[in-house]
A = this chain, B = another copy of it.
Amino acid sequence: MLDICLLGTGGMLPLPDRYLTAMLARFNGRKLLIDCGEGTQVTMRMLGWGYKTLDVICFTHYHGDHVTGLPGLLLTINNTGRTEPLTIIGPPGLRKVVEGLTVVSKDIAFDLELIELSYEKQTLKIGEFVITALPVPHNVKCFAYTIENYRLPKFMVEKAKANNVPQKYWKRLQQGEEVKVGDDYYTPDLVLGDKRKGIKVSYSTDCRPIQELEELIQESDLFICEGMYTDDSYLAQVKKHKHMLASEAAELAKKARVKTLWLTHFSPALPQSYINIDKVKEIFPNTVAGYDRMTTTIDFTEE
Interface residues of A (CB under 8 A from B): 12-16, 37-39, 41-43, 45-46, 62-65, 67-69, 71-72, 75-76, 79, 96-97, 99-105
Contact = CB atoms under 8 A, between A and B. Distances in A.
Given A38-B41, A101-B100, A103-B101, A75 B64 contact: yes
Contacts of A103: 62, 96-97, 99-101
* Best-surrounded residue of A45, A79, A96, A104 (most CB of chain B within 10 A): A104
A99 B16 CA distance: 27
Contact of A13 (B41, B65, B67): B41
Number of copies: 2
Contacts of A79: 12-13
A42 B38 CA distance: 9
A41 B19 CA distance: 12
A64 B71 contact: yes
Contacts of A97: 103-104
A96 B105 CA distance: 13
A115 B22 CA distance: 35
Please list the 3 inter-chain residue pairs (A to B) with the smallest Cβ-Cβ separation, ordered nearest first: A100-B103, A100-B100, A38-B72
Contacts of A63: 104
A42 B64 contact: no
Given A14-B72, A15-B45, A16-B45, A105 B64 contact: yes
Contact of A104 (B41, B43, B100, B102): B100
A13 B72 contact: yes
A67 B63 CA distance: 18
Contacts of A42: 14-16, 38-39
Nearest to A12: B79
Contacts of A71: 64, 68, 101
Contacts of A43: 16
A64 to B, nearest CB: 5
A36 to B, nearest CB: 11
A16 B65 CA distance: 18
A180 to B, nearest CB: 48
A53 to B, nearest CB: 18
Contacts of A46: 16
A6 to B, nearest CB: 17
Contacts of A13: 41, 72, 75-76, 79
Contacts of A101: 68, 71, 100-101, 103-104
Contacts of A39: 14, 38-39, 42
Contacts of A65: 72, 75
A108 to B, nearest CB: 10
A102 to B, nearest CB: 8
Contacts of A67: 104
